[in-house]
A = this chain, B = another copy of it.
Amino acid sequence: MAQILTFLGKGGTGRTTVAIAAAKQLAASGSRTLLVSSDSSPAFGILLGLSPGAEPQEIAANLSAVQLQATVLLENSWEEVKKLEAKYLRSPTLKNVYGQELSVLPGMDGALALNAIREYNASGKYDAIVYDGTGDLQTLRVLGIPETASWYFRRFRQVFIESDLGKAIAPFIQPVSSAVLNVTWTADNFAPEPTNQATSMLEDGKAAIADPHRVLAYLVTTDDPSAIATAKYLWGSAQQINLSVGGVLLNQADTTAAITKEFAPLAVTSLPRKTADWQPLLDALPSFKPAAQIPKPVTIDLAARQVKIFLPGFDKKQVKLTQYGPEITVEAGNQRRNITLPPPLSGQPVKGAKFQDGYLIVSL
């Protein structure tokens, strides 16, 4: 399994340059590294010095690069969808639609990028994958897909099963499917256990994102106030998808006590401006190993019946806690997150909550 690194920060702070430098540094240290760009514009090629294709290609010793093209990924995924349909349906309906005519809707770029990274990771060809995404909330939405999508599946399956509509339609499913499909639909399709392939893929994804040894983000900022504010906001937002932030890369500026304080307990590393020679920038980079002092996004204390949610970068009035559904919902940074609690706490009403030193502490 590869270590996956990604960089978050305001546009124009040099995020892509830092991602390229990180990939070069990892490759130089002997890791088989893949640099993945989600930006299909020519800017990535200009910064890298060459334009990689839509499939990974080796550009230096230990270093491969790919510039993702949603159109190409969609074409490949469509073939997989058609194969699946052909496998389960006696009379496939999608065979007359071609991947080559499918256009790209919002959200597809992200989902296709995540799937591509999953496949690169599973290929066993790489020790490190550097993902240069959009670096903003959208990158967090993409990395949050496993968590969010599995919540949607879980929640709506339950609602559907319990509904009158679900009960009314249930008897029709068997006759229709046995007439048309060559598989037998069983209760397993509605089973709460993560039995099918899609669910286990989402569970794998959730486990990877939550493990700082597998997926780790770094904040990139300059000393510009709006860049610092954005980096802090993304730091907090990353916690909402269980993504650990390993440190801060302060680009083209010297570390000050004020900046160090803004991001404590994260280490702040000052980076020089990139010149024709990449080496000084590479030498300034940190090791990209998760440090022990990084707080966990969520800590559950069963004995104290307390849930501690780390939300740096937000103040009290930006954080909202609700309990409408079966889980507790935390809203912060334009994200909403449902936290599944272990059995003794799950389904319990919230007794109290306070926001203190960047932590939301919930008592159940």
Contacts and interface: CB of A to CB of B under 8 A. Distances in A.
Interface string A121-147: 000000000000010111001101101
Contact of A105 (B97, B145, B164): B145
Copies of this chain held together in the complex: 2
Interface stretch (A38-46, A287-295, A351-359): A38-46
Nearest to A141: B106
A333 B69 CA distance: 9
A149 B46 contact: no
Given A12-B13, A176-B172, A225-B46, A338 B103 contact: yes
Interface stretch (A55-63, A207-215, A252-260, A322-330): A322-330
B101 A336 contact: yes
A107 B104 contact: no
B70 A334 contact: yes
A145 B337 CA distance: 27
A159 B334 contact: no
11 contacts: A10-B41, A12-B12, A40-B137, A41-B230, A46-B226, A91-B164, A91-B165, A93-B165, A101-B155, A106-B141, A164-B180
A10 B135 CA distance: 13
The interface centre, meaning the residue of A104, A156, A162, A333 with most chain B CB atoms within 10 A of its CB, is A104
Interface stretch (A108-116, A184-192, A300-308): A108-116
Given A106-B145, A145-B105, A148-B105, A43 B93 contact: no
A4 B136 CA distance: 25
A18 to B, nearest CB: 13
Given A100-B331, A101-B336, A103-B151, 8 more contacts: A71-B336, A91-B163, A91-B168, A100-B329, A101-B324, A107-B111, A165-B180, A172-B172
The interface centre, meaning the residue of A106, A149, A159, A335 with most chain B CB atoms within 10 A of its CB, is A106
Contacts of A42: 226, 229-230, 232-233
A102 interface: yes
A96 interface: yes
A45 to B, nearest CB: 8
Given A11-B11, A110-B106, A134-B134, A41 B324 contact: no
A84 interface: no
Nearest to A175: B172
A324 B79 CA distance: 14
A166 interface: yes
A169 interface: yes
A105 B105 contact: no
A163 B46 contact: no
Contacts of A107: 105-108, 110-111
Contacts of A105: 107, 141, 145, 148-149, 152
B93 A159 contact: yes
A278 interface: no
A329 B101 contact: yes
